[in-house]
A and B are shown apart, each in its own frame.
Chain A
Amino acid sequence: MSVRQDERLAPAAPGVPMTEVDCARCGATVLARKSSWEQTSIQWSARAMAVCSTPPADGHSTCPALRESIARAAAEGRLPVLDEVAPSYGAEVADRPAHDH
């Protein structure tokens, strides 16, 4: 098995790639992505894990400080949100009848 790339993260338009975000509390730099205001992906690195001052105790919680930092980056436009960058694409194009062309 070889590991493939998630095409949703491809930097090509109209998608949005994973983007660096710094945690406002500890300064850890992670890669984050938001396809909508509600959706969030976070890729940690070993370095970010080492920098993080308060790793969540239960293993599956997201650090509240990092969550807030990502939300702020999105609100301030430093982290693109796919829903804003490209509110719709794909289906509408595909659904267009052939004689439109």
Chain B
Amino acid sequence: MIHVTETDEIRLIEAEEVPTRFARGWHCLGLSGGFKDGKPHTINAFGTKLVVFQGEDGKLNVLDAYCRHMGGDLSQGTVKGNEIACPFHDWRWGGDGRCKKIPYSRRVPLRARTSAWPTLDQDGMLFVWNDPEGNPPPPEQAIPVIPGATRDDWTDWVWNETIVHTNVREVIDNVVDMAHFFYIHQSFPTYFKNVFEGHVATQVMKGKSRPDSGQRGGKGPKLLGNSSVASYFGPSFMIDELTYHYEGFDLESVLLNCHYPIDENSFVLMSGIIAQRSDVLPGDAADQMAKTMSKFILAGFDQDVEIWKHKARIDNPLLCEEDGPVYQLRRWYEQFYVDVADIDPEMTARFEHELDTTRPVEAWQAEVEENLARREAAGSA
């Protein structure tokens, strides 16, 4: 017998080519201390190769690594004074991108200027301002100072870097993706809200601990849950003020989640963590805590990467009402890929979206209990 089903249109996944342009905005290239050894450093970013070097004046400089003379790789060169000298013919380039000297020539030719990225050395991190239009960074888009980063009662950064082979939009989408925190990261969100305004995209999330995850179990004080306010300041740098609620006390931490594109199909994903020392978490205990958190975050990256490795790029996600505002997030994100003159007011207008977590919490609670029951049954068998 033949059943004739409804001729519902099949939903097709749509995806345009990934943009070949790189986002305008501040990008963190990592901890700045590592670049301050008087040697040039190679960074593959924004579809090219960069050289990062510190001049004698102490300033960190970032230039396109390919010498405009004959294409030599400046990141294989030598720092001489405040300039980087090309290993090929010793042409000297200043942090402003201009050729300052050619030792074997009487004159520097006209147009001897290469790409230079404005830099910022703040809170122990090196940032570069990327702008396809070549404009200077507007002051209102400055990366906020993180007080804990320079305070003695907070730990130093525990830093991770990993290369991910996909387009950066995948990591941005996580801002609005509440459900993946349960299914991928073994978290249990109970409150979820997003606010986009100007160049800032914020995720407010509260969660409770997952007794079935086994990741936070063991000895020590009981973890009840966490509260997180995480904001992208521009296209690539997220500061997450993350509080862990333990029985009897709170633990304050700051988690950075940031990236820079290598090219349109790969990026360097980084995390940085600091935790506040306190009476319950003095001295080394806080450092240990930050290290443990870092491992947890790194495991989280791996969980995301495993999904990204196999998934399709999708411009038309099919959403249910318990999903976050993916389209509005991408509308916000688009502002960084168009000329400033072409930014639509809709891209930067304030948008707020608070999820109803009633149904997700019910479903997830049931799933957690099933997992615990199954574990108990397996344990007693």
Contact = CB atoms under 8 A, between A and B. Distances in A.
Interface of A: 1-8, 35-46, 49, 59-60, 62, 82, 98-99, 101
Contacts, number: 90
Contact of A39 (B200, B229, B321, B344): B321
Contact of B352 (A38, A62, A101): A62
Nearest to B14: A4
Contacts of A3: 327, 330-331, 334, 344, 346-347
A74 to B, nearest CB: 13
B349 A45 contact: yes
Interface stretch (B1-9, B37-45, B66-74): B1-9
Contact of A44 (B319, B351, B358): B351
Contact of B354 (A46, A62, A98, A101): A62
| Chain A interface, >50% SS class | loop
Contacts of A45: 345, 349
A18 B346 CA distance: 14
Nearest to A58: B229
Interface of B: 3-6, 16, 19, 193, 195, 197, 200, 202, 204, 229, 231, 315-316, 318-319, 321, 325-328, 330-331, 334, 337, 344-347, 349-358
Given A1-B19, A4-B327, A59-B202, A42 B351 contact: yes
B325 A41 contact: yes
A46 B316 contact: no
Contacts of B326: 6
Contacts of B3: 98-99
A95 to B, nearest CB: 12
Contacts of A46: 345, 349
B218 to A, nearest CB: 34
Contact of B337 (A1, A5, A36, A41): A1
B363 to A, nearest CB: 13
Contacts of A38: 354, 356-358
Contact of A4 (B229, B316, B337, B354): B316
Contacts of B356: 35-39
A68 to B, nearest CB: 14
Contact of A41 (B231, B319, B351, B357): B351
Given A3-B330, A6-B327, A35 B352 contact: no
